[in-house]
Structure 1
């Protein structure tokens, strides 16, 4: 995709599929904004803020490393490496390739809105990319720790729509990029389970 593409500017000629997808995206955002989520009001906005600059995932990696098990430490390191690659990709290519304005906050209740609104473009979601990258990286090394981290990562991604700072497609695209970054890291540095043991010498 060429740089500086604004999804809100109609392109010349008919683009029915594109218009339908953008319309569906907006409807899903408004649907989420209009729903009453009383159990999430005190959790998701705070969780969303805690994931700023990857702070939540660095804390999770530190907690995993504190368990003093080699596999947990490897999972934490792989999660952070995946997060780093995802963040680099989002900041250098993702945010600069598509200029999509943030959603209008009118339908989002004030209690959900973040005190400090993001100033970057909306597509894709960097928070979702970091969450998916860390969780996927951890799970590739340690499925047990991945099962612990996955619900938190899913909640962070959900919080970005809940607080009104992203459209659903922003979150899905970010999560896909994050998971892809984790698999790219595994391709460069295989997990222990993917390493082929050396052949035993014949007697």
Structure 2
């Protein structure tokens, strides 16, 4: 039996409120900074630049796959998905109890799905496919970015979950395509 959309929305708000009630002031400043720094995929482009400069051919391939995955996920999430779900407003941080010291600038776009989470997951999964040694650290970093969006009050948990899922799918695709291209180069 599936839950109704209203029931899912209640669960989403309840989980959002649970995060808002966390008494973790030591995390407020770091997670605000993470959330702000992740605007426009800055951490991922920075890592891609480092991989391009010092990672050799495989690092360049991983960087290209990661950037391509960000582009595809961002396009899908920020255009058709956000436009289709435009009715979903951003959370009301005051009413839902998010402490002011956690706040970041509230985006003007709709809440569903999270573009930050999509980009983070897309990059982490794509690069992790090509460079498995980086997989754990990139996935932790992507998870921190995704959690920061709920913690700072700009997204509901389901926004982050759907965004990360879409991003991970594009990341997996980009990573596999990069590995296939590498294999073709090696066998020809």
Q: TM-score, normalised by structure 1?
A: 0.83
| CA deviation profile, 1:36-92 (whole Å, cap 9, x unmatched) | 113311211111111111112111111222324222221111111100100111122
TM-fit CA distance, 1:130: 0.3
Decide which moves more: 71-80 or 156-165. 71-80
Query: 123, 126, 129: which is aligned to 1:134?
Result: 123
Tell whether 2:108 aligns with 1:119: yes
Q: Deviations over 1:151-192 (max 9, x none)?
A: 1111000000000000000000000000111123245x2415
After TM superposition, list the pairs within 5 Å mapping 1:21-40 onto structure 2: 21-40=8-27
Rounded Cα–Cα distance in structure 2 between residues aligned with 1:180 and 1:194: 20
Q: Is the 8 A contact 1:141 1:192 kept in 2?
A: no
Residue 104 of structure 1 corresponds to which residue in structure 2? 92
Instruction: Work out which of the two has the higher radius of gyration on C-alpha atoms and give 1 or 2.
Output: 1
Match of 1:184 in 2: 173
Structure 1, unaligned runs of 5 or more: 1-14
Q: SS where residue 140 of structure 2 aligns?
A: helix
> Against the structure 1 CA distance between its residues 73 and 190, is the aligned structure 2 distance closer, same or farther, given a 3 Å change threshold?
closer
C-alpha separation in 2, matches of 1:192 and 1:148 = 24
- The match for 1:66 among 29, 53, 69 is 53
User: Are 2:127 and 2:134, in contact at CA under 8 Å, matched by a contact in 1?
Assistant: yes
Aligned equivalents of 2:38 and 2:3: distance in 1?
A: 36
Give the aligned length.
Answer: 183
Q: Give the conservation status (yes or no) of the 8 Å contact 2:66–2:174.
A: no
TM-score where L is the length of structure 2? 0.90
Mapped to 2, the partners of 1:72 and 1:190 lie a distance apart of 11
1:136/1:68 CA distance change after superposition, 3 Å? closer
Q: Report the aligned-residue RMSD.
A: 2.0
Deviation of the 1:103 alpha carbon? 0.6
* SS of residue paired to 2:81: helix
Give distance in 2, aligned partners of 1:198 and 1:33. 53
Are 2:31 and 1:44 aligned?
Answer: yes
Match of 2:77 in 1: 90
Over 3 Å counting, the alpha-carbon distance change for 1:16 and 1:88 in structure 2 is closer
In 1, the alpha carbon distance for the partners of 2:180 and 2:3 equals 47
Could you say which structure has the higher helix fraction? 2
